[in-house]
Structure 1
Amino acid sequence: MRLAHITDLHFGAEEPDVVRGLRDDLGGINADRVLVGGDLTMRARDEQFAAARELLDEIGRPWTSVPGNHDLPLDRPARAYGSLDAYRAFIDREPEPAVRENGLLLLGLSSPRPYLWKGGRVDGEQRARIAGEFASAAELKVLMLHHPVLRSPQRPRETLVRGAEAAITAAARAGVDVILCGHDHVAAQARIGGGMIGVMSGTACSWRVRAGESQSYTVLDLDGDRLRITVRHWHDGGFREARTAEWHRTSDGWHP
């Protein structure tokens, strides 16, 4: 099983050359599914959503998306009323999708809130859905949201999503293997919740890079109880392998 995690595309602040490189690279790695972690746009404008949707359709692979905080309108009244209307119209009418196919069990959560625009939240209803959706068995159980549930070494002072600890507890109890997130524009991974893998991916194609990193995305390759996690970053006119980590699943979870 091969999954690609891209996030923080930020159309409206995109680098055209990197967009083309991302499209070509994703089209060439033959991922079973591309997982899109939010902030597809910079200002939630129709033309920005349309450009993001065009890229996703051009990849030629199945994809699943969740919204990020930049996918809510910047204008406060518009954000409060019908805040995900454009996202639903251009990307997916379901902002919290579930996918069950070929050994993969994926749940996406919508973490942005009109009243917590930057930091986001995972609430009790969403924690209950984690428990319900992941009740059945699967080769790989993946939870995806935009806001981070882990801090990166590059940006250790960044705020976690509101409700992060409770969400991690719910995911661990449900047997989740991997939690995917973005928002901080850097690539990182860590063992969290006593046995899960937390994966944060960088900005995929915008100029809004952070901590000296270039644009990047993450590839996850599952082979039985081995998971290879590769960061591919933009370098010298193309996406190239930057670093790889091997994780192994045992009776007490995943270990690097």
Structure 2
Amino acid sequence: MRLAHVTDLHFGAEQADVVAGLRRDLLTQGLDRVLVGGDLTMRARDRQFAAARELLEALGTPWTSVPGNHDLPLDRPVRAYGSLDSYRRLVGPPESVVRDGGLLLLGLSSPRAYLWKGGRVDAGQVTRIETELAPDAELKVLMLHHPVFPSPQRPGEALAHGAQEVLRAAASVRADLVLCGHEHVAAQVRLPGGVIGVLSGTACSWRVRAGEPQSYTVIDVEGDRLTITVRHWRDGAFTEASTTVWRRSRDGWQA
């Protein structure tokens, strides 16, 4: 199984050459599914959602997305009501469960108008983790936009409200991966229960942070071996930046 975690596209603040390079590179990866971690847009405009969808559809690969805080209207009165209407109409449902071969994926919506930057995972969503990810699967993945664990590069950044409850629930069902975006950095962290936390950088916008270029993550699963490769933008192309091999044990995943 080969997946790509692509997040923080930020159409409306995209770099055209990086978008073209991202498309070319994703087409060469032989992916089974693309997992899109939110912030498809910069300002939740219809044309920005349409541009993001055009890129994803051009890949010819199944894809699943969750919304980010920038996919809520930022500068219109409707923001006060936390509307994801444009996202629903132009992208799809903000939450989903996908069973595809050995993959079991739960995508949750963490943006909240009243916590626009920080996001939230509420009690009902925690219950969904405990139920939807309980069945056996080759790979159990939880995806949301806001981080529920800190990155080494930006350790002081706020986590989503409900982060600890999310981590406890993910460990309780022996999830394999928790995928997040928002921070615009690439990182991997071993979480409680041996779950792997993955952050991916901004895929194609100019809004880079911590001195890191645009990036995305490729995840390869073969039995009890999981390989995570960060591909970043350098000299006009996406190339391999780092590769980490994880192995499954009785205590979860070990790098």
Fold equivalence (TM over 0.5): yes
Aligned partners of 2:111, 2:82: CA distance in 1, in Å?
A: 13
How far did 1:77 drift? 2.7
Q: Which one-letter code corresponds to 1:74 in the other structure?
A: L
Contact 2:82 2:112 (C-alpha < 8 Å) held by counterparts: no
What residue in structure 2 maps to residue 19 of structure 1? 19
- In structure 1, what is the equivalent of residue 138 of structure 2? 139
Match of 1:252 in 2: 251
Deviation >2 Å, runs of 4+ = none
Counterpart residue number, 1:210? 209
Deviations 1:25-74 (A, max 9, x none): 11110110000000000000111001001001111110000000000001
| Offset at residue 101 of structure 1 (A) | 1.2
- The range that moved more, 68-77 or 161-170, is 68-77
Distance (whole Å) between structure 2 residues aligned to residue 224 and residue 182 of structure 1:
26
Output the amino acid matched with 1:168: L
Shift of 1:243: 0.3
Q: CA deviation at 1:76?
A: 5.5
Alignment match, 1:68: 68
Equivalent residue runs for 1:145-164 within 5 Å: 145-164=144-163
Task: Indicate the residue corresponding to 1:121 in structure 2.
Answer: 120
Q: Counterparts of 2:173 and 2:80 in 1: how far apart (Å)? A: 32
Task: Report the counterpart of residue 103 of structure 2 in structure 1.
Answer: 104
Contact 2:174 / 2:193 at 8 angstroms: preserved in 1? no
C-alpha displacement at 1:135, in angstroms?
1.7
For these two proteins, the number of residue pairs brought into alignment is: 255
Aligned-pair distance for 1:18? 0.3
Match in the other structure for 1:88: 88
Residues 225-234 or 128-137, more deviating: 128-137
TM score, norm. by length of structure 1: 0.98
- The one-letter code matched in structure 2 to 1:199 is V
C-alpha distance in 1 between matches for 2:150 and 2:81: 31
Counterpart in the other structure of 1:38: 38
Q: Tell me, in whole angstroms, the C-alpha distance in 2 between the residues paired with 1:5 and 1:159.
A: 22
Q: Distance in 1 between matches of 2:71 and 2:177?
A: 24
**Counterpart for residue 52 of structure 1:** 52
Amino acid at match of 2:26: L
Q: Structure 2: which amino acid aligns with 1:85?
A: D
Shift of 1:194: 2.6
After TM superposition, give the deviation of residue 184 of structure 1 in Å: 0.4
Task: Tell me the amino acid that sits aligned with residue 77 of structure 2.
Answer: P
Residue 174 of structure 2: aligned partner = 175
Identity %, equivalent residues: 71
Q: Could you give the per-residue CA deviations for residues 151-200 of structure 1, whole angstroms, max 9, x where no partner exists?
A: 11111111111110011001110111100001000000010013100000
Secondary structure in structure 2 of the residue aligned to 1:194? helix
Whole-Å separation in 2 of the counterparts to 1:39 and 1:180: 14
Structure 2: tracts of 5 or more residues without a match: none
Q: Is the 8 A contact 2:139 2:176 kept in 1?
A: yes
Gaps of 5+ in 1: none
Distance, in Å, in 2 between the alignment partners of 1:84 and 1:230 is: 32
SS of the equivalent of 2:30 reads: coil
- CA–CA distance in structure 2, aligned partners of residues 76 and 167 of structure 1: 31
Q: Structure 2 matches for 1:175-254, cutoff 5 A?
A: 175-254=174-253
Amino acid at match of 1:150: F
